[in-house]
Amino acid sequence: MRTKETWSPKQMSSEPIAKSHFSGALTTAGYVEDAPPATAESADVSRSGSGTTLARTATERVDDAEVDGGTAQVEGVEDRVSGRELQRELSDERLDDLAIISTIEKPPTATQGWRGLMARLGIAMQPGTRERDELDAATELAQHETVIRQFVGTEAVGILVANPKGSSGKTPTSIVLGGLLATIRGGSVAVLEVSDDRGTLAFRAEGNPTRGVSELVRDATTIRSAGQLAGYTAPQTSYASIIGSVGNREPLSRDDVLAAARVIDEYYAIRVMDSGNQPTSSAFAGAIDTSNALVVPVLNSADVVLEAIAMFDRLRDHSPHGARLADTAIIVRLVDGRPENPQLVARLDEIIDRAGVGGAFTIPYDPHIAERGQITLHKIAPATRAAFTRAAAAVVQTIQNNTK
């Protein structure tokens, strides 16, 4: 992410500035011009009032000026700037390289421990090491949230969550990722089940909807409003809308996924797709065709990671679009609380490093996700939420790169 240069008064040019008409006027920041020696003429001007004298002089100059189109062209007097011209100047791309400082930043004050106690007693104390680390982490998290919030595309985008290995964390990742995107952006995120057979998305989501993906595919051509589409969703407290299976259904096909994606994209900016375990299925092909980014959840388990690597190979052989998704994929490594072999984890680190993907993020163990019940975003541990936010920001940046 590009870092903006911060403007400060010390960076001002040292070239002299033209002297002011006023005695003792400021000429540079922090310096005052010495007043000229007093004369009889200047004393007369002072007694008559400098404002009156300047006004009279300006009036005489305007009277002598040539008027063109009703606007006085006065030599030596700057033209007045219009509101539209000022707006253009303020939106000049060159200002993008400056940080406009509207407030004076103060160094942080300690709030924790004995340092915080002393600060509350009126003794200036800076935060200790632990508190500084927490402040730095909060600043970093805010920056990731800004990346997510400020993302604007010219059309709806799709994020595919995929791993051929079952129980690898695809559904929890889809719900948390979609929920974070919706919470930070204020909604307009739909999470759609695109597994060929019935999945567990509706079960892990909040609520008990009466219609889902099968009914949506059936009625896709008749949906004409956001209100109609809402009838097929399970609204979440995160502001995401989840569309899963509410009962037994027929396997989805590529055309089914394309039809569902088409109607969802009419009313949502971001579509997160929870896929199944058959990367060769027709439904998976439809999900690939409508994706702008790929998210691959893995556990610290050899079979889960190797299945993910095999999927990357298939995507790279499938099409240029599939290869781009594989090359820019974001891996999320979920810690599920089971015992882990340090030697195996180190070996998996090497495999993931050599996978040739966009990035990898470790998600710490979370008791709420491990319950395997309905997932509510505000019950997610802060560390889990922060890790998923970092991954979500990387996904957004991937979408920006893949849709240029």
pLDDT score of 356:
96
Secondary structure of residue 51 in the 3-state scheme:
helix
User: How high is the pLDDT of residue 158?
Assistant: 98
Q: Is the pLDDT of residue 6 over 90?
A: no
In whole angstroms, what separates CA 286 from the centre of its chain? 27
Contacts of 398 (CB under 8 A, 6+ apart): 292, 293, 328, 330, 358
Which fold is adopted by the domain 156-402? Answer: Rossmann fold (3.40.50)
> For residue 371, what pLDDT is reported?
94
**CB burial of residue 237 (10 Å; 0-12, 13-18, 19+):** middle
Which has more pLDDT, 73 or 264?
264
pLDDT at position 91 is 57
Return the closest-CA partner of residue 390 out of 333, 351, 337.
Answer: 333
Of 88-102, 159-173, 309-323, give the lowest mean pLDDT range: 88-102
Query: CA–CA separation, 356 vs 351, rounded Å?
Result: 10
Sorted by where each begins, the domain ranges of the chain are: 156-402
- Is pLDDT above 90 for 97? no
Residue 165 has pLDDT above 80, yes or no: yes
Give residue 87's pLDDT: 64
pLDDT score for 79: 60
**Cα gap 30→7, rounded to integer Å:** 17
Q: What is the biggest distance separating any 2 CA atoms in the chain, rounded to whole angstroms?
A: 102
Asked if residues 9 and 28 have their Cβ atoms less than 8 Å apart, the reply is no
Give the pLDDT mean for 161-171. 97
The fraction of the chain above a pLDDT of 90, given in percent, is: 65
Question: Please, what is the average pLDDT of the chain?
Answer: 83
Beta strands 241-243; 234-235: pairing state: antiparallel
Give the mean model confidence (pLDDT) for residues 17-40: 41
According to DSSP, the β-strands at 189-193 and 241-243 are parallel
If you average pLDDT over residues 30-56, what whole number do you get? 44
Task: Quote the pLDDT of residue 108.
Answer: 87
Give the model confidence (pLDDT) of 177-231 as tens digits: 999 999 999 999 999 999 999 999 999 999 999 999 999 999 999 999 999 999 9
> Is 47's pLDDT higher than 80?
no
342 confidence band (pLDDT: 50, 70, 90): very high
Supply the pLDDT for residue 114: 87
d(CA 234, CA 245): 11
pLDDT band for 175, please (50, 70, 90 cuts): very high
What DSSP assignment string belongs to 289-351? HT-SEEEEEEES-HHHHHHHHHHHHHHHHH-HHHHHHHHT-EEEEE--SS---HHHHHHHHHH
Which of 18 and 84 is assigned the larger pLDDT? 84
**Are the C-beta atoms of residues 271 and 261 closer than 8 Å to each other?**
yes
For residue 166, pLDDT over 60 is answered with: yes
3-class SS at 241? strand
Assign 70 a pLDDT band (cuts: 50, 70, 90).
very low
The CA distance from 208 to 59, in Å, is 77
List, for residues 273-300, the tens digit of each pLDDT value.
999 999 999 999 999 999 999 999 999 9
The string of pLDDT tens digits covering residues 292-335 is 999 999 999 999 999 999 999 999 998 999 999 999 999 999 99
Q: What is the DSSP string of 123-162?
A: ------HHHHHHHHHHHHHHHHHHHHHT---SS-EEEEE-
Lowest mean pLDDT among 25-34, 235-244, 261-270, 380-389: 25-34
Q: What is the pLDDT of residue 119?
A: 85
**Alpha carbon distance 61, 74 (integer Å):** 7
Decide if 215 contacts 202 (C-beta within 8 A): no
Least confident residue range of 28-42, 136-150, 384-398? 28-42
Per-residue model confidence (pLDDT) at position 62:
43
Q: What is the C-alpha separation between 352 and 12, in angstroms, rounded?
A: 49
